[in-house]
Amino acid sequence: MRTSARLATTVLAGCFLTACCTPTFAQAAAPAKPPVGSVIPPTQIYGKILTSLETNFVAAAEAMPDDKFDFAPAETAGEFKGVRTFGGEVKHVAQANAFFFHDPNAPLVETRADYDKLKTKTEIVKALKDSFAVAHTFVDAITPENAFVMTANGTRAGLATQGLEHLMDHYGQMVVYLRMNGIIPPASRPK
Domains and CATH numbers, the chain: 39-71+84-184 (1.20.120.450)
Q: What is the pLDDT of residue 152?
A: 81
Distance CA 184, CA 189 (A): 6
More confident residue, 106 or 123: 123
> Is residue 105 scored above 80 in pLDDT?
no
Contact 142, 156 (CB under 8 A): yes
Percent of the chain with pLDDT over 70: 82
Q: What is the pLDDT of residue 79?
A: 79
Buried b / exposed e along 75-107 (16+ C-beta atoms within 10 A): eeeeeeeeeeebbbbbbbbbbbbbebbbebeee
Q: What is the pLDDT of residue 10?
A: 36
Q: What angle do CA 59, 64, 65 make, to 5 degrees?
A: 130
Q: What is the pLDDT of residue 27?
A: 53
Contact 58, 129 (CB under 8 A): yes
> Is residue 77 scored above 90 in pLDDT?
no
Cα torsion for 47, 53, 59, 61, to the nearest 10°?
-120
151 φ, ψ (degrees, to nearest 5): -120, -175
Provide the terminal-to-terminal Cα distance of the chain, rounded to the nearest Å: 47
What global pTM score does this model have? Answer: 0.77
Q: What is the mean pLDDT of the chain?
A: 82
More confident residue, 29 or 111: 111
141 φ, ψ (degrees, to nearest 5): -95, 0
Closest to 136 measured CA to CA, from 160, 118, 106? 160
Distance CA 11, CA 122 (A): 56
Cα torsion for 158, 162, 167, 169, to the nearest 10°?
150
Q: What is the pLDDT of residue 30?
A: 64
Cα torsion for 48, 53, 56, 57, to the nearest 10°?
-150
10-20 pLDDT, tens digit per residue, is: 333 333 333 33
Distance CA 69, CA 143 (A): 38
- Residue 37 region, left (φ>0) first, then alpha (ψ -120 to 50), else beta? left
Where residue 4 falls among pLDDT bands split at 50, 70, 90? very low
Q: What is the pLDDT of residue 151?
A: 85
